[in-house]
Structures are given as C-alpha cells and as structure tokens.
Amino acid sequence: MNKNAETYLDTVNAAFAVQDLQRKYNKAINDTQSIRNQQTLKKLMDQQLENLRNKEKISQYDVERAEKLLQIEQARIALEDAQSSKTSLRLKRDAQGNYSYQYVSDSDKVTEAQ
C-alpha cells in the first residue's frame, strides 16, 4: 500500500504541479505569434488541466504526460511555421525561358523542425 501511495503526489505537490503546468502552457501561448496556434494551445491547455483537476489522485506521470503533449504541440507548430515561412530566394525558369525569383521555405529549418 505504501508503494502505491508513493506514486501519487500529495495535495500540495499536486496543486503546485498543476499551477506550474498552467504557467508553462500560458508561456507557450504568449510566445506563439499565430492566433490559430494560440487557440489550439489554449484548447489543449484547458483539456489537460481539466483532466488533471478531475482526478482524485495525480501522479507524476500524469503531469509529465501533459508536459509532453505541450512539447509535441510546440514542435508541430514549429514545423508548420518553418514550412510556411518563405525566407529563401530561388531562381526559377519558366516554360518560355524567362527567369524569375521565387520565395521558398528554408529547407534547413524544415529539416531541423522535423
């Protein structure tokens, strides 16, 4: 019974973990530029905090899982931003033989985000 009791956080540590997790989500939301991404992070935050608050006993695993979901979402947002940002110029030749410059996404940033 003591072994199982050690896997769960006490009420003070559980409250601290939930507040710390909420602070991390809020920081991620504030650091995000896109409104759509902010709304996605807010929805994820509300869902994870509600899940944690509805549990009678919270384990460290539950808190770490919610943090990992935040990290996964931030990585997905970074990948989308790298794919959509057009910062590099590429010289293109069309069918008539005319050259033009075209903005393309930076493949190094996309690879790094992946």
Asked if 52 contacts 18 with a C-beta cutoff of 8 angstroms, the reply is yes
pTM for the predicted model, two decimal places: 0.69
- Residues of the chain under the 50 pLDDT cut: none
**Residue extents of the structural domains in the chain:** 2-85
Q: How much is the pLDDT for 93?
A: 73
DSSP 16-62: HHHHHHHHHHHHHHHH---HHHHHHHHHHHHHHHHHHHH-SS-BHHH
Q: How much is the pLDDT for 24?
A: 92
Distance CA 76, CA 9 (A): 30
Question: Cβ-count burial of 106 within 10 angstroms (0-12 exposed, 13-18 middle, 19+ buried)?
Answer: middle
Say which amino acid occupies 26. Answer: N
Asked if 79 contacts 37 with a C-beta cutoff of 8 angstroms, the reply is no
